[in-house]
Amino acid sequence: MIRFHKEGYKIIVITFILAITSILLADRFIEIFWLQKIVQVFILVLLVTVLQFFRNPTRKTVLDENTVVAPVDGKVVVIEEVEEPEYFKDKRLQVSIFMSPINVHVTRYAMGGTVKYSKYHPGKYLVAWHPKASTENERTTVVLNNSSFGEVLYRQIAGALAKRIVNYAKKDDKVIQGTDAGFIKFGSRVDLYFPLGTELTIKLGDKVKGGTQVIAKK
């Protein structure tokens, strides 16, 4: 059975009503048969696109404080040492995962522990792969802490289409690895910042699966 994320309920209902209404109007007012069918098929494709975007498949996470799992589905597009200017203000190992429109967009906690920091930043809507997206786009920054990795930061970043980031993490929350941490509506990328020397189990270009695939370990 297909499950949908709660953040999509309202949009799904509105889209479904508009789709049915538009199909009926096309049937009534478009007299050219082939044009009528093209319009109706296009409407159905849009409906299916919205449904698949908000799908929320069940993922079984193997809980392990010595591992970090991918927080989202997508493709690893950045692995490099960078200066993290907001929280750590020093060099960290950055891993960026880009989500295409067909990926599951649920954000999951990459590791269990305590939320040490959670902040929302309004911003621009540059394309997700733009070099300045992680510092200038709308984004949320969350820092998790556990006894194995210490502090690990992840950042939800909006893209050109994303207009809303949902973040459930609150400071001092105790969170469980793999559980629901938020959602990026029509959105785009997540950056993680690890301590230097962290052992990664993925490489540039890999496609990862949120909540289940280990991306770093001790």
pLDDT digits (tens, 9 = 90+) for 166-201: 999 999 999 999 999 999 876 688 999 999 999 999
pLDDT of residue 145: 97
Q: Based on the residue annotation, tell me whether 188 is a catalytic residue of this protein.
A: yes
Q: How far apart (Å, rounded) are the C-alpha atoms in residues 191 and 207?
A: 15
What pTM was computed for the model?
Answer: 0.86
Q: Does CATH place domain 67-217 in 3.50.50.60? A: no
pLDDT of residue 28: 92
Q: What phi and psi, each to the nearest 5 degrees, are found at residue 154?
A: -130, 150
143: enclosing H helix or E strand:
strand 139-146
Write out pLDDT tens, residues 52-85: 888 999 999 999 999 999 999 999 999 999 999 9
pLDDT of residue 181: 96
How many residues are recorded in the chain?
218
Q: How far apart (Å, rounded) are the C-alpha atoms in residues 120 and 189?
A: 15
Q: How far apart (Å, rounded) are the C-alpha atoms in residues 200 and 202?
A: 6
